[in-house]
Amino acid sequence: MITRFPVVDISPTTYFGGEFIAAKAIPHEAITIAATVFREGHESFEVLALLFDSAGKRVTRNPMRLIWPGTDRYEGVLTPTELGAWSFAIEVCDDKGITSISEKYPICAEDPRSLIGSWYEFFPRSEGAIKKSDGTIVSGTFKSAQASLQRVADMGFDILYLPPIHPIGLSFRKGKNNSTTALPGEPGVPWGIGSSAGGHDAINPDLGTIEDFKDFVAAAKRLKIEIALDLALQCSPDHPWAKSHEEWFTKRADGTIAYAENPPKKYQDIYPLNFDNDYEGLLAEVVRIITFWIGHGIRAFRVDNPHTKPLHFWQECIAIINASYPDVIFLAEAFTRPAMMHGLGKAGFQQSYTYFTWRVTKHELIEYGTEVAKTTSGFFRPNFWVNTPDILPFHLQSGNPQIFALRAVLASTMSPSWGMYAGYELYEHTPLKADGEEYLDSEKYEIKVRDWESAKKSGKTLMPFIAQLNQIRKAHPALQRLRNLEFHQTDSEHVIAYSKREGDDLILVVVNLDPSHMQQATVHWNLYYLGLGSDSFEVTDLLTNKRHTWHKESFVSLDPTGANGSVAHIAHVSIK
């Protein structure tokens, strides 16, 4: 029914699956509430945003402002203060006491790690691996990988993601560079899960025992690193499920189980699951597996290819887990169509991989940054990964260290969650083929022996710079928020500028998108976005620790080819 004061186009609201789903938030995150409000005639009225706690009690009543004359569009800010279910509504009243209140719309304040995190990925079997004189390689283990945790901590990462740690099948095992036939001694693909040693609740014997894993998790926690496990709902032909639960798979006409295909690729070493034959049985088993690993100290899961499973399965599964373990988060590895990626967020995934990996130009970055920060932030939280074991982006294949540096700046400052796969800091960049985005000698198919110490001694590493970026992120609340991203005009297509503000913490970022040439530009800072009243302001460049006086129109020069290889300014503004 239309109220006396129509309130329409309310945000953040998302109607999905026959209901309004909760807008994503974390405690103490400011959320912009917006609506179009109007009435007959010309009499004035006041618009307020109301916040209700989980018991339905109103705890906040904040004024909303008209953002532009004649638009009837109002904005206000609400801030949930603790974990749990919240809701908001919009109230309109005039000087005669006539009042209208909209319906209530849900907000869910989740664990802060749902929004904020610096992720790193390594393969435990490569950490501490040894190449013998005869060329054979001895696998790393959880015990040897413990030594690598310090390297991860020194770079400032707080979440370490491990590819599947389960037994790997022998049938149709893939070899080096995705060869369809593995040679003797080749370790196989970790995503080919399951053998006579067990399935999704077992440890690959090459990595050690469950006790070794528990020790590894405990060592990580002592360094304030959270371990995230891969949840890959697929099986090797040798997985115990292939015998005990044939109904969980798709059968061909001849009665054999169909392997996975993603044309033109074929994955003979993997059986995908079929959720149509025994949905309840599969759901119960997946919940059991997740709960099993939660019992071993895991509170974060990176889910492999969730877009190949039914959305309603994820909605139900995540709801079951979060009802008992609200601090558990799920990251969707879904490089797929926008509708499906967004659908996964609406179904309950706390985070998702994104298209950032392929957004390179100034226009692409502004368009995509605006989308994730403004348009979709109510239901979709981005995690900006600079690379993955599957993806060596074309822009990194030159091997120019400065492209690695500037992409790390963009990922770590545009998004409150970002990620990096091991080898990025060593500038690994050789593709399998010229027209592809896969690594030559991919770690998915073999054990990688890296010489971290030699790289450190020679200075051919990005590790100190990565550590600096993560230190800056931890020190500045503005970089731990998503919705506050604002872009500013520059007069060069090679220079991008943006700001983030949280309270009195204001960060300005300027990046040279050209890794090979000096670029100069005037940045036209929008003082309204910055919340500054003066045309000049003092800044400290957090990368160089130098102080500058900047102005509304600031000239910048960034030379990646110089002695210091400057690719960006990350400036903290002194708020007087």
Active site (annotated) includes residue 502: no
CB 52 within 8 Å of CB 90: no
User: Helices 311-324 and 338-347 meet at what angle, rounded to 10?
Assistant: 30
Q: What phi and psi, each to the nearest 5 degrees, are found at residue 511?
A: -130, 135
What is d(CA 472, CA 477) in angstroms, rounded to the nearest whole number? Answer: 10
518-528 per-residue burial string, b: 16 or more CB within 10 A, e: under 16: ebebebebeee
Write down the catalytic residue from 29, 111, 230, 304: 304
Q: What is the residue type of 470?
A: N
Q: Three-state SS for 264?
A: coil
Tokens 């560079």: give the residue: 177
Say how far apart CA 272 and CA 258 lie, in whole Å: 8
Helix/strand/coil percentages in the chain, nearest 5: 25, 30, 45
How far apart are alpha carbons 64 and 312 in whole angstroms?
36
Residue whose tokens read 């079951």: 320
The span from the CA of 206 to the CA of 124, in Å, is: 10
Catalytic site residue from 333, 425, 505, 514: 333
Element (H, E) at 100: strand 99-101
Q: Which pair of structure tokens corresponds to residue 242? A: 């292939």
DSSP H/E element including 4: none
Contacts of 18 (CB under 8 A, 6+ apart): none
Contacts of 90 (CB under 8 A, 6+ apart): 7, 10, 33, 35, 37, 47, 48, 49, 50, 64, 101, 102
Q: Does residue 333 carry a catalytic annotation? A: yes
The label of the residue with tokens 């100034």 reads 362
Considering only CA atoms, give the Rg of the chain.
25
Residues 6+ apart with CB under 8 A from 374: 483, 485
CA 13/CA 377 separation, integer angstroms? 10
- Phi, psi (degrees; rounded to nearest 5) at 190: -55, -25
Looking at the annotation, which residues are catalytic? 304, 333
